[in-house]
Amino acid sequence: MNTIDRRLFLSQLSLAGAVAATAGFGFTTARKADEFIETEINTGKIRGVRSDGVNVFKGVPYGGKISGDRRFRRPAPLQPWTGVRDATQFGAPAIQAPRRNEPAPSEDCLFLNVWTPANDNKKRPVMFYSHGGGFVGGSGASQAQDGSNLARNFDVVVVQTNHRLGLLGFLYLDEIAGADYAGSGNMGMLDIADGLKWVNQNIAQFGGDPNNVMIFGESGGGAKTSCLYTMPAAAPYFNKASIESGPGVRMTTKETAAETTAMLLKELNIAPKDWKKLLDIPAADLLAMQAKLPFVPPFIEKNNSREAKQRNAGGFGPVVDGVVLPQHPFDPVAPEISKDKPLLVGWNEDEYTFFAWERKDTESFKMDFEGLKKKLEPRYGENTDKLIEAYRKANPNASAPDVFVAISSISMMGLGSVTIAERKVKQGGAPVYLYNFGYKSEKKIPGTDYAMGTPHAMDISFKFNNEIPPRDGSAPKESFFGGNNPDRFVASHHFAELWTTFAKTGKPAAKDVPEWPAYNLKDRPTMRIDTKCEVINNRFAQELAMWRSLGKV
């Protein structure tokens, strides 16, 4: 790999979900359930479990059949059931590679999970999370995002969904398949909107307030949240949002999506008029074909001249079809439909170290500044020298690997986050709050002496307050990314309290944390979240000035 850019980042997005599914991530698991809990929703009775002061309902269906003749279409109506349906096991995730400690993936995957302190009449804020994994992987059962501690420690209700992904969730057929397949390029997003509608209709039975719902998500979940913030189908069902390490400024155009569909049909030797043959192909074969197609980022960069010259067809993500997704989420402006909904947006300081860990990249941490120039030139061309110079001037003690991580991390996640914050401010509606997560893990990137710092995906277990000492008093286990330092428990509490307070009030706040001012274009305040949190005005001013001169913000 000679360059780090948005395409590289997005080609790895699904790994964040995979990591969360397979790794321990160092959070406390609940003790054996002490009792069953029953409640009634609009389709029948369900039975979950109460464990350590939290009621947990897993694998609750929120939509009907989406396989067979419903493939690429809106779900069949969910049929009521008689008796009491078990809700103690996770539901199937969307079609993808098998996931550790979860059911086998299935086309019929419209299930959600709920964590609540009590099924009473208390109107708690609802935190509705969209999992990471790009638009191709992940699930609402990923271990690091277990909602028990948020519910228990901060008196909120947490909801997470499984929904269609990849080719089965985002294949654009609108132009060849007729009215029954309208919106086909956004089925995965419409599934999530259906989950929000389910919350509106049922969450009062779980002690939640249907009129106080926060949507949030990390990585691919941040991009999904960006889309939900723009979608008429979701708008009635949430009140505030948080986009974390996944700024979805732009999505795929209809033209690009149509070319992707044409490419797929050609690879399968199916004429466009015979597109219905797609309904008979086993889902596993479609998944294999999805992996063979060229990758294209589902987030399209600002001022992407390449799109005009080469459509980069081949990938699957939300489509700006003018109906389900009326516009690019934050381009050219923030969406009017969510003008009055407060927003959090931000990124982790060392996003790139996750991808170095995943790819076993050790060479990037041995290079000198001449090597750095060679590594960045394929991406930045004649601007490479002045970009490196700007970073060295702003960070005079930084090594070449430090500069590489800083440039790579902000180009992946920071520039889009700043763009979103600025466009939200210019809209003149509800406030937007910009953050950086900065707690530093001492764990080293394998094969190097370079600490991971604050890698992509490390924020998941922190914001879910899953970095806490064991409740049984035993010695804490090492966190997968967060390391061994007990300071991480303080940083996790700060993060979780800021997010849950935002869910409750629309303004993030926490004990022992400075007041967090809304972002503005004069002071540009950014909250740095760590063991000791601080507000930093006009953070990365020199670096962002350089990026602006390159037209990247």
The answer to whether position 381 is within a domain reads no
Specify the pairing of strand 208-218 against strand 240-244: parallel
Alpha-carbon span 312 to 405, nearest angstrom: 27
Burial class of residue 521 (count of CB atoms within 10 Å of its CB; 0-12, 13-18, 19+): exposed
Secondary element (H or E) of residue 128:
strand 124-130
Residue 108 lies in a domain: yes
CATH number of 40's domain: 3.40.50.1820
Domain presence at residue 470: yes
Range of the domain at 160: 7-367+413-553
Residue 390 domain-assigned?
no
Which residue has tokens 């530093």? 440
Residue 379 lies in a domain: no
What are the pLDDT tens digits along the chain (553 aa)? 333 343 333 444 443 443 333 333 333 333 454 699 999 999 999 999 999 999 999 999 999 999 999 999 999 999 999 999 999 999 999 999 999 999 999 999 999 999 999 999 899 999 999 999 999 999 999 989 999 999 999 999 999 999 999 999 999 999 999 999 999 999 999 999 999 999 999 999 999 999 999 999 999 999 999 999 999 999 999 999 999 999 999 999 999 999 999 999 999 999 999 999 999 999 999 999 999 887 654 444 433 433 333 445 678 999 999 999 999 999 999 999 999 999 999 999 999 999 999 999 999 999 999 999 999 999 999 999 999 999 999 999 999 999 999 999 999 999 999 999 999 999 999 999 999 999 999 999 999 999 999 999 999 999 999 999 988 889 898 999 999 999 999 999 999 999 999 999 999 999 999 999 999 999 999 999 999 999 999 999 999 999 999 999 9
Which residues belong to the active site? 219
Backbone angles phi, psi at 31, to 5 degrees: -70, 170
Does a structural domain hold residue 394?
Answer: no
What is the tally of structural domains in the chain?
Answer: 1
For residues 289 and 264, the answer to whether their CB atoms sit within 8 Å is: yes
pTM, 2 dp? 0.93
Residue 219 placed within a domain:
yes
Task: Please choose, from the candidates 128, 142, 134, the residue with its C-alpha nearest in 3D space to the C-alpha of residue 25.
Answer: 142
Specify if 227 maps to a domain. yes
